[in-house]
Structure 1
């Protein structure tokens, strides 16, 4: 009886044990690490894929293919016809979208498979490329790690310095369907090397609108999130007497602490946003003569005025191109709900006509280790 019970118990465990009917050995799979989307002159979708090669005989450690197709899912079959294993998209780390693709307002529909298929990763970083995607996938840096890892490192490092955003597939989906803000992506360009150029700003339909450069993105992050990671800024100092020479009067500082309060109001015609910022800074570089100890209040005012001027210029640029990467619409919805609901479906138009006032209070908390 004991032996029978053991056999019945083992049989029950085997029958009801969960398993994978679609199990695949690593040797039979092609792990796509980098995916690229572009369009040709006739607006045909071109899908690029880069995968590692696990073979001692192979001279190149990655294989890269491109196919002309109608959808991303359709491209899988065509890629399988050329690659050594079955294409697997669950390990994609970078998705590169060409600027030419982003200039079409309906491009986001191509990504439907990424949200519908549970096997597709939604943690991959999404990047906008100023140029042809083919240039990136034909780039073989000899002094860099595998290209997908190299690009991930570039994005993560730049994001830690706050000179660009880091947008995943899931975050892009949230931004596309959030009516109170517009999407933003890391912007890269292939020159001699791959380089971060700033942040691409998309309009409410996802169409490429404009870009913000590295310094502008620091200001954007400061208004939107406050201090996150390391924030370093360099501003010009305007002197009464211009001195000739190699060294220009510049001041660099770290943002140690910052708080931003955005108060929206509505007067019946348009929205008004009062942006109040309080920033603690530590001076890291000073290329002009100044007695900070005695005249720190004057220097604080100089920093505050210059910061105010640059932030206002950045926000006016966003209004001009009808983009809201900060999310002023979210504040309007939270505090002026009835007025916001009237313009909810045309928020970027309402934002472009809004009155934004910026005030910056700066406090110097450190002058470095030299007098």
Structure 2
């Protein structure tokens, strides 16, 4: 009798598990990326997906749907897409600039609420329509979404860009007090797509695009452990120094003269990659100290200029420092203080340390 009960139990487990109610991959479309735009009064959702044709044949396609609501788009799409959609493999959420400017509160809410959505895809804002970029044919990847994901991840090696560009990181920026979303901004230039700046949000609405030449200094003040090449140029052609360094940022907050004060310390450690300013190829300790001082002065000048521009023109914290005042003083106390970012005192110190001048160091 005992053996019969065990047999029945094992049989039930066998029939209840396995591939029951599963769909073969040939009957699925795998979503690689999702784009969001607006068209007059309608929301537009474009998905880039892969179809498996059998015999190891994979076909890329893009389908766009319209709706009065975000999930109204899905109703429209399911009437036209050839196979069941699997969205767990999404590489990127790409949001068109016009869509971002009217607000993305609905997108953010769906990302948090819908358990089918992964929190690991990267997020980017694009010039023009997201649909147009997803429809591009990549040269070295199967899908445009995969190429865009790789480009954003690789950007962490230059311009002091942040490595944290996944959806979960953007949600932290949105929901944590004293923070705002700042997202990579991309655009198409001829037949390629590149990162061309930073998209700055106030709450859920895009309010400004910071061009890439300014984004370098914003990132340096904003991010910790960013990486970039830096140059020290002279008026003479072909006389300059290039270094590659990693940044570290420290921020201290205090209340001075009825104003919030932020003390920002930026340290860069790196190495000389090229030097045509010095006559001698090999540099001694004194030469290296002079190079360090020169980079410190140049960086401090440019960083102070971007701080002034942020307080007078942007009038919004793009350096992610207000979170420190919320952490120290709390929301209720900040209401009684003059905590305006535009009126805050920002003190800056820059330190450059070159650990190596290359293989020719004396």
Same fold per superposition (TM over 0.5): yes
Is the Cα contact below 8 Å between 2:26 and 2:53 reproduced in 1? no
Structure 1: which 5+ residue stretches go unaligned?
A: none
- How far apart in 1 are the matches of 2:144 and 2:344? 43
The corresponding residue for 2:71 is 73
Within the alignment, does 1:188 sit opposite 2:186 as a pair?
yes
The corresponding residue for 1:298 is 290
Is the Cα contact below 8 Å between 2:199 and 2:206 reproduced in 1? no
The corresponding residue for 2:251 is 262
Question: Is the alpha carbon distance of 1:266 and 1:190 closer, same or farther for their aligned partners in structure 2, counting shifts above 3 Å?
Answer: same
Task: Return the offset for 1:149.
Answer: 1.4
**Local SS of the residue matching 1:53:** strand
The corresponding residue for 2:356 is 366
Is the Cα contact below 8 Å between 1:304 and 1:361 reproduced in 2? yes
- How far apart in 1 are the matches of 2:332 and 2:114? 38
The correspondence for 1:251, drawn from 218, 234, 241, is 241
Task: Return the offset for 1:235.
Answer: 3.1
Question: Is the alpha carbon distance of 1:266 and 1:21 closer, same or farther for their aligned partners in structure 2, counting shifts above 3 Å?
Answer: farther
The corresponding residue for 1:309 is 301
The corresponding residue for 1:199 is 198
The correspondence for 1:356, drawn from 335, 346, 354, is 346
- How far apart in 2 are the matches of 1:222 and 1:270? 24
Is the Cα contact below 8 Å between 2:104 and 2:204 reproduced in 1? no
Is the Cα contact below 8 Å between 1:30 and 1:87 reproduced in 2? yes
Within the alignment, does 1:120 sit opposite 2:137 as a pair?
no
Q: Which moved more, 1:359-368 or 1:21-30?
A: 21-30
- How far apart in 1 are the matches of 2:345 and 2:21? 57
Is the Cα contact below 8 Å between 1:198 and 1:211 reproduced in 2? yes
**Local SS of the residue matching 2:205:** coil
**Local SS of the residue matching 1:297:** helix
In angstroms, what is the RMSD of aligned CA positions? 3.1
- How far apart in 1 are the matches of 2:158 and 2:50? 30
Query: Comparing both structures, which one devotes a greater share of its residues to strand?
Result: 2
Deviations 1:213-272 (A, max 9, x none): 1x54444444344334x43222334xxxx54xx42x43211225x543322222364212
The corresponding residue for 1:94 is 92
The corresponding residue for 2:4 is 4
The correspondence for 1:234, drawn from 231, 234, 253, is 231
Taking the TM superposition and a 5 Å limit, the aligned residue runs for 1:46-85 are 46-55=44-53, 61-85=59-83
**Local SS of the residue matching 1:148:** helix
Question: Is the alpha carbon distance of 1:236 and 1:178 closer, same or farther for their aligned partners in structure 2, counting shifts above 3 Å?
Answer: farther
- How far apart in 1 are the matches of 2:91 and 2:336? 37
- How far apart in 2 are the matches of 1:31 and 1:255? 39
Question: Is the alpha carbon distance of 1:57 and 1:65 closer, same or farther for their aligned partners in structure 2, counting shifts above 3 Å?
Answer: farther
The corresponding residue for 1:274 is 263
Within the alignment, does 1:130 sit opposite 2:123 as a pair?
no
Task: Return the offset for 1:11.
Answer: 5.8
**Local SS of the residue matching 1:223:** helix
**Local SS of the residue matching 1:64:** strand
Within the alignment, does 1:335 sit opposite 2:325 as a pair?
no
Within the alignment, does 1:139 sit opposite 2:136 as a pair?
yes
Is the Cα contact below 8 Å between 1:332 and 1:340 reproduced in 2? no
- How far apart in 2 are the matches of 1:178 and 1:254? 33
Paired residues in the alignment total: 355
Structure 2: which 5+ residue stretches go unaligned?
A: none
Within the alignment, does 1:323 sit opposite 2:316 as a pair?
yes
Question: Is the alpha carbon distance of 1:8 and 1:52 closer, same or farther for their aligned partners in structure 2, counting shifts above 3 Å?
Answer: closer
- How far apart in 1 are the matches of 2:161 and 2:147? 16
Task: Return the offset for 1:313.
Answer: 2.3
The corresponding residue for 1:108 is 105
Question: Is the alpha carbon distance of 1:336 and 1:268 closer, same or farther for their aligned partners in structure 2, counting shifts above 3 Å?
Answer: farther
- How far apart in 2 are the matches of 1:204 and 1:269? 27
